[in-house]
Amino acid sequence: MNKFDYRQATTTDEASVLVHDNDQAKFVAGGTNLLDLWKYNVTNPELLVDINQIRENKTIEEIEGGGIRIGALVTNADTAYHPLIEQRYPLLSRAILAGASGQIRNMATNGGNLVQRTRCYYFYDSEVPCNKRNPGSGCPAINGYNRMHAVLGHSENCIAVFPSDMCVALAALESVINVSDLNGKRSIPFGDFHRLPESAPEVDNTLRHGEIITSIDLPSKGFSSNCSYLKIRDRNSYAFALVSVATGLELDGDFIREARIALGGVAHKPWRVKVAEDALRGKPVTETSFAQAADIILEGAQGFKYNQFKIELAKRAIIRNCMMALNPESQKPGAQP
């Protein structure tokens, strides 16, 4: 039995101070990831700070400039089905609904989704070494069973992937994460929030200890007319992505005015390659254009014994998803792209 203290915070500041003052403290929101990690002995907090009673951060509202602010404590389900999100950011709605199960999405919060940890099987097995769980102990995945692991941005210390679906859409939409702690508030561009493993795979993101996510801002441009989220996985539900793609396109007749493409399941963070998106600007809307972008996005990809297939799979998924984004009918439940 592990002894721990439990506190309910009623304000963001109170929660932040409680966690800040104890190195072994953790926030808990929906608990859908934290409690699993705890049961598997991957984490063992001395103090659990429950943030569910905080009244702030539970709304979805329009903000200056035409965008939308989504509270960190809004559940994934309430976000996906909110009329403003369904109408203006269907890419986000679809990505969320591609993840987990109905029951989990009812509990899971947006803040927790951003901070969820990798699903690497070795990370969850506290009997084996793992640099992310126990820095310096080694990475058994590199020469082990690495079918679900990274092909981009990995290091000799860790080849894990970040498992979120929601975050792939948030990356493509260029959202901004608002956080707060004793030192004040700051806003982090989505691309700077998650990190690559490099020499410190134990650090997933750029949040400081005690810093709490309060909300996520979506810019006004939602690519609602031409967007698509494609998740390739072993089972059609309740499975993490082998590869996923979020695409948003803005068209000018038969040409591409702007493109956003983010990949999930291939790296330690949602993967976006700006040069590939820039290269699509002004190109005709054809498979060839998307195939060229896919080649740029996967440049430098390096697979391992069991996941080489992901490189070709990712290229094909990009092309297919960009073509699906051209046809809103392909997004309807049951439609075959």
Q: Which of 123, 162, 193, 271 is in the footprint of ligand SF4 by CB under 6 A? A: 123
The single-letter DSSP state of residue 192 is: G
122 is an interface residue for ligand SF4 by CB under 6 A: yes
Cβ at position 286, least distance to ligand FAD in Å: 31
Residue 34 site contact among ligand SF4, ligand FAD, none (CB < 5 to 8 Å, cut-off depends on kind): ligand FAD
Stretch that binds ligand SF4, among 31-39, 62-70, 134-142, 219-227 (CB under 6 A): 134-142
One-letter amino acid for residue 334 of the chain: G
92 is an interface residue for ligand FAD by CB under 6 A: no
Go through 110-128 and write b for each residue having 16 or more CB atoms within 10 A of its CB, e for each that does not.
Answer: bbbbbbbbbbbbbbbeeeb
Residues 164 and 83: their CA atoms lie apart, in Å, by 22
Q: State phi, psi for 82 to the nearest 5 degrees.
A: -70, 135
Q: Which of 164, 205, 228, 289 is in the footprint of ligand FAD by CB under 6 A? A: 164
Rounded alpha-carbon distances, angstroms, from residue 200 to 17, 37, 305: 26, 20, 24
Residues 86 and 285: their CA atoms lie apart, in Å, by 25
Stretch that binds ligand SF4, among 93-101, 131-139, 249-257, 299-307 (CB under 6 A): 131-139
Q: Which of 96, 141, 207, 276 is in the footprint of ligand SF4 by CB under 6 A? A: 141
80 is an interface residue for ligand FAD by CB under 6 A: no
Residue 93 site contact among ligand SF4, ligand FAD, none (CB < 5 to 8 Å, cut-off depends on kind): none
Q: According to the 3-state scheme, what is the secondary structure of 211-243?
A: CEEEEEEECCCCCCCCEEEEEECCCCCCCCCCE
Residue 268 site contact among ligand SF4, ligand FAD, none (CB < 5 to 8 Å, cut-off depends on kind): none
State the binding string over 97-136 for ligand FAD (x if CB under 6 A, else -).
--xx---x--xxx-xxx-xx--------------------
Cβ at position 22, least distance to ligand FAD in Å: 13
Are the beta carbons of 276 and 300 closer than 8 angstroms? no
Are the beta carbons of 249 and 259 closer than 8 angstroms? yes
| Assigned token pair, 168 | 């792939």
The binding site for ligand FAD (CB under 6 A) comprises 26-34, 36, 51, 72, 76, 99-100, 104, 107-109, 111-113, 115-116, 163-166, 212-213, 240
